Structure 1
Amino acid sequence: MVLLQRLLIYTLILFVASCASKVRPAGGDKDETPPVALNFSPSLYSTNFNSTEVIIEFDEYVKLEDPFNQIVVSPIITPNPKFRIKKKSLIIEIPDSLQANTTYNINFGNSIVDVHESNVAPNFQYVFSTGSVIDSLKISGKLVLAKDNSPQKESVVMLHKSLNDTVFLSSPPSYIGRTNELGAFQLKNISPGRYNLFAIKEDNSNYMYDRPDELIAFYNTSIVVPDSSSYYLRLFESIPQKVKIIEKQSAALGKHVIVFNTAVDKALLTIAAVEQETEFRTDLGTRGDTLFVLWKDFSLEKFTLAVSYDGKSLDSLKISNAISVKQRGGTRSRTTPKIQVKTNMAKGPMLHRHLLLSLSFNNPILTLNNDSISLLADSTALADFQLTLDSVSDFKASSSQEFEDDVFYMFTFLPGAFKDYYGNTNDTIIFLSSLKPERQYGSIQINLTSVDLEKDKLLLQVIEGEDKIYRQVKIKDLNTEVSFLEANTYSLRLVNDINENGVWDTGDFENKIQPEYVLNYSAPINVRANWDMVIDWKIR
């Protein structure tokens, strides 16, 4: 009997346990609802506002994420309001420096989120006025980077009541807003009037264009609010008005590098020895912002060079001719840089069908000896192969040699083929190559419509990767073919080359010159080998 009772109890326990396992777990669907404001004190859109504290109660516990970058107060309040969280409430401490008869908009962006799931209360705003009315006018538009039309997020757009252009350099704006992920902006609660419209991308958050590395955009004319127009602004790095040296370093014994903040005119550049005379030479890099100072007289232990531009002193270079320098673990010997040679061959290496063979050097080459240079084509010497030094740059040489398909080429440069400024000669250099087959290239036929080539001076740029100009063609006809493109994915860009200097030019804020316009093709171009593409491009 006892055994039977025990069996019944054991069976009952198992039954209860099995029933318990079937109970649905506690909980439910994930909370995806953003916080909701239940109460404002003072109320939202308050007029004749004179409070020093605002309390906003939400329906759940909240927190602030990235408030420094997300919260925008317009017009600016100095000192800044302070924000803190207390349970389900957001508390704003307002300083007593508010302007009379002014509507303020505190835009929290995406900073207000709930504690548990970080659901965002998007573009949450608190608006109030120190006067008897709430200003309700607004403007909107888009901000892009001028050189490639990419949307610019987290940049500041500003309105200035003062129509003096220079006020932007030293005074905060009347109204501000911030761009979103798509570069779109909207400034709300503006009073009627005429304004200057600007935008900047800055790091110091003082809302003034006061540093040369800041990007700027400006609208050509003042605007009148109210206005239903959508404004299109283009950010650019303005041409520096003052030439400065931003970097200087010793590259090797007998070689110093100076980097300027902009391209310079070598005719305006003066390098002079101070106290002790010494001979040296200078070479400007292809971009115009880098200067190479070279010397080969090492009899002086050290000397100083003064650098001036357009008659104004910039800096001085203290040059050391020490043959060895101390470093961690001992000393390092210094020598003049050895000759290094690069070619413009494609990967492989393979010779391009559409380019002449060219060589570039790290040092200026003073003499080139073709007797020490040879070219074999399938083991047959080509006696007429010649290299010629560039007439403009001592750092380049080229050949007009034509190459053929299915031929194996060997270039040999014996010692003494090149002699540089320092008197150094090259070691033996050998390049093995062949002509890249035509079938490995693709081409693009571009047909432009709705464009006036008499008015618009267009450059077509084939862009590789993020922003590398792989090929550039001047548009002379509405139907343009770009041949010998390596198989790859490219993007296409048109530049309105207003001054016809063959490059895209940035703007100049001081002289109120906008950057040259660019237009991107709407989709990437997948160029395949041995394939001709046709692209119809309507310019809007």
Structure 2
Amino acid sequence: MLLALSCAKISAPSGGPKDKEPPVIIKSLPENSSVMFTGKEFTITFDEYVVLDRITEKFMVSPPLATKPEVRLKGKSLIVNWEDDLADSTTYTFYFQDAIRDNNENNPIPNFQYVFSTGPVLDSLSLTGNVFNAVDLEIVEDVMVLMHSNLSDTAPRTIMPAYISRPDASGGFMIRNIRPGRYNLFALQDLNGNSMYDLEDEVFAFADSIISITPEEYYGLVPDTLSYKPPTATETTKPDKFVYGLHRLYAFQQQPAQQYLKFTERKSSWLIGFGLAIPSDSGQVSVELIDADSTSWFMEHNAARDTFMLWLTKPDIYDLELIDALVTYPFTDSTGTLISRTDTVSFRYRKPAPPRGGTGRVPGLRLTSNVAGKVRPGTIPIFRSTTPLAEPDTSLITFTRTMDSLQVRVPYEFVRDSVSSLGFVMNTQLETGSAYNLVLNNGAFRDIYGLASDSTVYRFSVATEEDYGSLKVLITGYEGNLIIQLISGKDKVVREMKISSPGEASFPLLDKGTYRLKAIYDLDSNGVWTTGNYDLARQPEPVSYYPSMLEVKINWALEQDWDLGEMYLKDVSLRNKPATGR
């Protein structure tokens, strides 16, 4: 008889399918939705151990308490206690969002709330809405929604709100357990944690009018949820969910009202810089270098006139480690009056120690240019450096056009950039469909400090109109000034046109690809998007997006109608995917 013997294999039990269920509440003390609440603590016990995910960010109380409650875990229980006295006949809601999760699989209890009333009834009305970034109609990170029963204009700056909540990952929000009454609605990116709009750089939004919360209109109100899957999604792809409520808030960052010296810097031996909080006319700004005459430097500014650059031109000045200057600039004093102020500012720059073994060959002057490969018809060659340029030496420059395998010289002229000493424009006639060679021999360009460019050859050709597509947009439905932007990739503005509507916007010579269209309703006719101002009760200028992507093909003219009769439109197919784990 033959016996087959084998060793038993020992392994852990499989444990069954993965747990996907959130923790279950066994009991609450006092019960959730209690009335006549008088304590300063409640306890919630679960059927398993739980963890708190980003509880500091996600937990909030409405109406808010002056001192934030303590939230802690003990065994399988969650305990919340506080020090503040509660208001009479008031419904309090403790929002946990999805912070409470099981300890093993991290399954959250979605949108969990604990509610009680210090009076005989629970307030039962609700309000829904959305918070969008006014400039692009996307969500705003870390924003709160505030309801004020005090209807004074100063209320959001000086007192705590009556109700508070946070939007979800798609920007939608819901405030529950509201008492009937009249309220102002706001949104706030609270930088200092006091639930008040009291910092100039806080993101803010306000509703245009007072909201009357009545049982007839606000009982049982819930937001709509829209699921969206892109056409390229597979069957297993989970749809994105976008929540839309009744009210809309468009958040903005107000233009600074206080003028002051924002920064000073010295990034290199020969460059001194400083910036102002608000753009200013150059005539209001002046500089005097102590112990240096005015021929040893010159000043430039950026297009916005809020950043100023001083280029030091003499070695006995820019070789100094410390330079003192008298900077005169407009300044807002304590009474809100704009005055002229002069400060003594010290600019320090310490040259780095030379590397061991010497510096080696000093790199040549680095030039950047917009001519390389195939350039668009109408391109004007531009050459820039990071330091001010001296006049180019044209005896070291050759510019030719390739014709029947021959190089034919082409006339040109270099003209200094009208707004910056860092650049030169090359005026010449470029023919479509032609190839060019621009040869810069050693030293063709130099900066004012003597650093010369290395020998470089730019080979490029000029494309024809047939190498590109075009787009014409016929705009109706709105009368007034518009800014039409053509956008590609990650919100990159490719082209922009200012038009009077109804009218048309034409975008010729476009690279093939997909684009979006954005309209800015230029209500103040200043040619740029204007942000909001709460003190002036001015909302930010509205925007809208064409409802779908537009595909531009080579040698193809696309014509598209666009009705802009409704503002603040952006289809879910164009919106960013809601963030997870918020």
- TM-score bracket, shorter-length normalisation: 0.7 to 0.9
Match for residue 543 of structure 2?
518
Deviation at 1:112, TM superposition (A): 1.2
Counterparts of 2:314 and 2:47, CA distance in 1 = 79
Q: Is the 8 A contact 1:343 1:358 kept in 2?
A: yes
Deviation at 1:128, TM superposition (A): 1.0
Q: Is the 8 A contact 1:143 1:152 kept in 2?
A: yes
Match for residue 357 of structure 1?
381
Pick the aligned partner of 2:458 from 415, 431, 451.
Answer: 431
CA shift in 2, pair 1:276/1:417, >3 Å: closer
Equivalent residues in 2 for 1:57-68, closer than 5 Å: 57-68=45-56
Q: Who wins on radius of gyration, i.e. which is larger?
A: 1
Counterparts of 1:308 and 1:161, CA distance in 2 = 46
Counterparts of 1:224 and 1:275, CA distance in 2 = 67
Pick the aligned partner of 2:518 from 484, 493, 496.
Answer: 493
CA shift in 2, pair 1:86/1:327, >3 Å: farther
Match for residue 305 of structure 1?
325
Amino acid at match of 1:297: K
Match for residue 313 of structure 2?
296
Counterparts of 2:357 and 2:118, CA distance in 1 = 70
Match for residue 112 of structure 2?
124
Match for residue 32 of structure 1?
20
Deviation at 1:253, TM superposition (A): 2.0
Deviation at 1:432, TM superposition (A): 1.8
Amino acid at match of 2:64: I
Amino acid at match of 1:538: D
Match for residue 78 of structure 2?
90
Q: Secondary structure at the match of 1:73?
A: strand
Match for residue 40 of structure 2?
52
Deviation at 1:80, TM superposition (A): 1.4
CA shift in 2, pair 1:410/1:501, >3 Å: farther
Match for residue 482 of structure 1?
507
CA shift in 2, pair 1:168/1:131, >3 Å: same
Q: How many residues align?
A: 520
Match for residue 242 of structure 1?
258
Q: Is the 8 A contact 1:35 1:58 kept in 2?
A: yes
CA shift in 2, pair 1:321/1:95, >3 Å: closer
Q: Secondary structure at the match of 2:93?
A: strand
Match for residue 473 of structure 1?
497
For residues 332-390 of structure 1, the C-alpha deviation after alignment (integer angstroms, 9 at most, x for no partner) is 99x9x985432233xx4332214333333434456466666542111544453223234
Q: Is the 8 A contact 1:78 1:95 kept in 2?
A: no
Counterparts of 2:286 and 2:393, CA distance in 1 = 33
Q: Is the 8 A contact 2:399 2:411 kept in 1?
A: no
Amino acid at match of 1:119: N
Equivalent residues in 2 for 1:188-267, closer than 5 Å: 188-226=176-214, 228=218, 230-267=246-283
CA shift in 2, pair 1:222/1:274, >3 Å: farther
CA shift in 2, pair 1:185/1:264, >3 Å: farther
Counterparts of 1:464 and 1:512, CA distance in 2 = 33
Amino acid at match of 1:200: L
For residues 438-466 of structure 1, the C-alpha deviation after alignment (integer angstroms, 9 at most, x for no partner) is 343222232334x22x32x1122122332
Q: Is the 8 A contact 2:67 2:84 kept in 1?
A: no
Pick the aligned partner of 2:144 from 153, 156, 159.
Answer: 156
Counterparts of 1:354 and 1:405, CA distance in 2 = 9
Match for residue 580 of structure 2?
none
CA shift in 2, pair 1:28/1:506, >3 Å: same
Aligned-pair RMSD on alpha carbons? Answer: 3.5
Amino acid at match of 2:541: E
Pick the aligned partner of 1:135 from 106, 123, 126.
Answer: 123
Amino acid at match of 1:445: K
Deviation at 1:326, TM superposition (A): 4.6
Pick the aligned partner of 2:483 from 453, 459, 462.
Answer: 459
CA shift in 2, pair 1:463/1:244, >3 Å: farther
Amino acid at match of 1:473: M
Q: Secondary structure at the match of 1:197?
A: strand
Counterparts of 1:433 and 1:84, CA distance in 2 = 68
Amino acid at match of 1:469: V
Equivalent residues in 2 for 1:8-23, closer than 5 Å: 10=3
Q: Is the 8 A contact 1:159 1:173 kept in 2?
A: yes
Match for residue 271 of structure 1?
287
Amino acid at match of 2:380: L
Amino acid at match of 2:345: L
Deviation at 1:84, TM superposition (A): 1.8
Q: Is the 8 A contact 2:290 2:323 kept in 1?
A: yes
Counterparts of 2:248 and 2:147, CA distance in 1 = 14
Amino acid at match of 1:305: A
For residues 155-202 of structure 1, the C-alpha deviation after alignment (integer angstroms, 9 at most, x for no partner) is 111122333333433433222110111101112222233333221224
Q: Secondary structure at the match of 1:288?
A: coil
Deviation at 1:416, TM superposition (A): 7.1
Q: Is the 8 A contact 1:488 1:527 kept in 2?
A: yes
Deviation at 1:305, TM superposition (A): 1.6
Q: Is the 8 A contact 1:351 1:357 kept in 2?
A: no
Amino acid at match of 2:510: L
Match for residue 283 of structure 1?
300
Unaligned runs of 5+ in 1: none
Instruction: State whether structure 2 residue 317 is matched by structure 1 residue 317.
Output: no
TM-score by length of 1: 0.84
Q: Secondary structure at the match of 2:106?
A: coil
Instruction: State whether structure 2 residue 370 is matched by structure 1 residue 344.
Output: yes
Deviation at 1:270, TM superposition (A): 2.9
Q: Secondary structure at the match of 1:169?
A: helix
For residues 75-121 of structure 1, the C-alpha deviation after alignment (integer angstroms, 9 at most, x for no partner) is 11132111122333222113242222221100110011122222211
Match for residue 94 of structure 2?
106
Pick the aligned partner of 2:530 from 505, 508, 515.
Answer: 505
TM-score by length of 2: 0.79
Greater Cα shift, 371-380 or 485-494: 371-380
Amino acid at match of 1:458: L
Unaligned runs of 5+ in 2: 219-244, 331-338, 567-582
Q: Is the 8 A contact 2:378 2:430 kept in 1?
A: no
Q: Secondary structure at the match of 1:475?
A: strand
Counterparts of 1:313 and 1:512, CA distance in 2 = 31
Counterparts of 1:467 and 1:261, CA distance in 2 = 26
